A = this chain, B = another copy of it.
Amino acid sequence: MNKKNRAPAKIRQIDWSLCFIADSQASGGRDVLWLIEEAVAGGATIVQLRGKTWTVRNFLRLAVQAVELVRPKGIPLIINDRADIALACRADGVHLGQDDLPVSEARKILGQDRLIGISINTPEEARRAEEASADYAGAGPVFATLSKPDLQPLLGLEGLRRIRTETRLPILAIGGITLANVGEVMAAGADGVAVISAIASAASPRQASTKFIETIGKVRKNPAPQIA
């Protein structure tokens, strides 16, 4: 499939390379805003804020600060799950799980100009995400991860390739992505990767982000021959 026709007009300009997910449960005691600042300084192109353990009030307070931090740099800020918080902090979009609001309902609330992403684990979920006019799919878990242990089957590179053939949506691969495997993940057809601990737990989150961006850039320049 031609990469050029993957994304609808409104999001053609978004750089999907590297999404840093700033998670209330996986910041390792580090300041979340500092982590976001470092990740973006290092090259992260999207930030998602996930706050299952924060009160709504604290989540909103952090979200407002995060938007102030990344907006001047042209980096989209995505809120996990809560469309109401996304509206209140004027985020660029929302990321939904399969058990969250349906994409269609989130779209009514957020309108056409905000991004709506959805987590998918199967080609069927990828097809439904596209039918529901999601803006991107978070495909995973590709590999095992401790950041968000769940019972879903691991996709592996093979599963990722299968999902790639099923959807024209931009794909952010997620789950156990590291500097050691990001190359093959991109080669399997991802448009970018979403990373939690590989940045949040790195000695230098900034350097980790830079290395991800460099590796992703290299794969894009010299794509390995793909096995269909």
Interface residues of A (CB under 8 A from B): 55-58, 60, 81-85, 87-88, 98-102, 105-106, 108-109
Contacts and interface: CB of A to CB of B under 8 A. Distances in A.
B56 A84 contact: no
A96 to B, nearest CB: 8
Scoring A81, A85, A106, A108 by chain B CB atoms within 10 A of each residue's CB, the highest score goes to A85
20 contacts: A55-B99, A55-B100, A56-B81, A56-B100, A56-B101, A57-B98, A57-B100, A57-B101, A57-B102, A82-B84, A83-B84, A84-B84, A84-B87, A84-B106, A84-B109, A85-B101, A87-B108, A87-B109, A88-B105, A88-B108
Contacts of A58: 99
A60 B105 contact: yes
Name the prevailing secondary structure of the A interface residues. Answer: helix
B101 A84 contact: yes
A40 to B, nearest CB: 25
A82 B102 CA distance: 15
Nearest to A58: B99
A88 B109 contact: yes
B99 A57 contact: yes
Contacts of A101: 56-57, 60, 84-85, 88
